[in-house]
Amino acid sequence: MNGANSKPFGLFERMLAGRYLRAKRQHGGVALISVISVLAITLGVFVLIVTMSVMNGFQKEIRARILGVASHVQIGSIVGHLEHWQQTSEEAIKHPAVEAAAPYVAGQGMLSHNQAVQGVMVRGILPTTEDKVADFSKTMVAGTLEDLEPGKFGIIIGADLARTLGTFVDDKIVLISPQGQMTPAGILPRLKQFTVVGIFEVGHFEYDSGLVLIHLFDAQKLYRMENDSVTGVRLKLNDLFQAPKVVEELPSMLTIDSYITDWTKQHANYFRAIQIEKRMLSLILALIIAVAAFNIVSTLVMAVTDKQSDIAILRTLGASPHSIMKIFIIQGTFIGVFGTLLGVTGGLLLAYNVGEVVASIEWLFNVQFLSREVYYISKIPTDPQIVDVMTVAITSFTLSLLATLYPSYRASKVNPAEALRYE
């Protein structure tokens, strides 16, 4: 038997470990607990992978909705308005990560219609260039961006804003600008009538209820911007995650004193909150795996107690304490590895098909998990990432391996004389 120790885990240890896993004494308590331990690890890994995939899916979906209308990078001027924006756009596009550029005019105002008033953010755009940096054309439920023509004072509003004001396409609506005019009676705000030419629905309340689009030329006239000035230039990148790097590199390529920001700063709190939520939820669910690992400890301790006489006989036949320790390490590791593999397989299968599964459950029980009236995302999105899956699998395997150390050490310290005294 000592020859079996020439390898880390010899045939002798593997055979006995397998025999103990299948052992059924009395009522099969040890074997039953082994099965429960496998199921506990499987469930923990399964739930953790599915949850992280769904969280990744929601994060990806929300990011796509926000950045579909927001900009990856914004170039503005320190003085508040940017002149010669064409030159700035040409210089910015020379960066290899920049895909497109478009000017914009940003302002604030209030919309009034049928005695209803709503504060809004006004964005002046060029329809021909805006479609290159944003996905507004894909979100239009009525009209098109091309309906914004210079000098005709057309306006495109969000769907939630249209419902709030009770407006439809071709309705007249009044935009109140905060840039007022001094009169003997006081400051009078500037009023301008616009015609609703389109309605968009991004699927994000902040934009659908508080953003309006007008033509760049009309915005310049409304906010009295001279010399073809704009608020800034919006950029679209090939890879949005390169935005911080682009922000650092762009100033050296521009001839103007500029203020450059990116989406990671504009929506930092929002995406940081989602990331923190994902980490905390993952930590909580990881405790399930930890509990399952403790089940392995109890399983092996019971196995050691149950097999004390067998261990004593093996010791008297020449088995070393290290060999005994290896037997129970193999037994516990098998439980952990088998449970992890089952959990990873089941988790990935459900993660890639959760939409169909949820739809089937909704149809079967006539329920709806995510109502569109409550949340814009009515389907459960998933985005399984290999890094998350590997992290869960390695964590589960590590905890399972650590859980075998104490029971295995205890088994190696069994005194043959004491164990066989009453046999």
pLDDT digits (tens, 9 = 90+) for 127-167: 988 888 888 888 889 888 889 999 889 999 999 999 989 89
Strand 154-158 with 186-200, pairing: parallel
Q: Give the dihedral of Cα atoms 167, 168, 174, 178; nearest 10 deg.
A: 70
What was the pLDDT predicted at 157?
93
pLDDT digits (tens, 9 = 90+) for 335-370: 888 889 999 999 999 988 887 887 787 788 877 766
pLDDT above 60 (res 29): no
Higher pLDDT, 15 or 147: 147
Q: Who's near 175: CB < 8 A, 6+ residues apart? A: 109, 110, 111, 112, 122, 155, 191, 192, 193, 194, 212, 222
What was the pLDDT predicted at 67?
76
Q: Who's near 122: CB < 8 A, 6+ residues apart? A: 105, 106, 107, 108, 109, 175, 212, 214, 219, 222
This model's pTM is above 0.85: no
Q: Rounded CA gap, 76 and 94, in Å?
A: 18
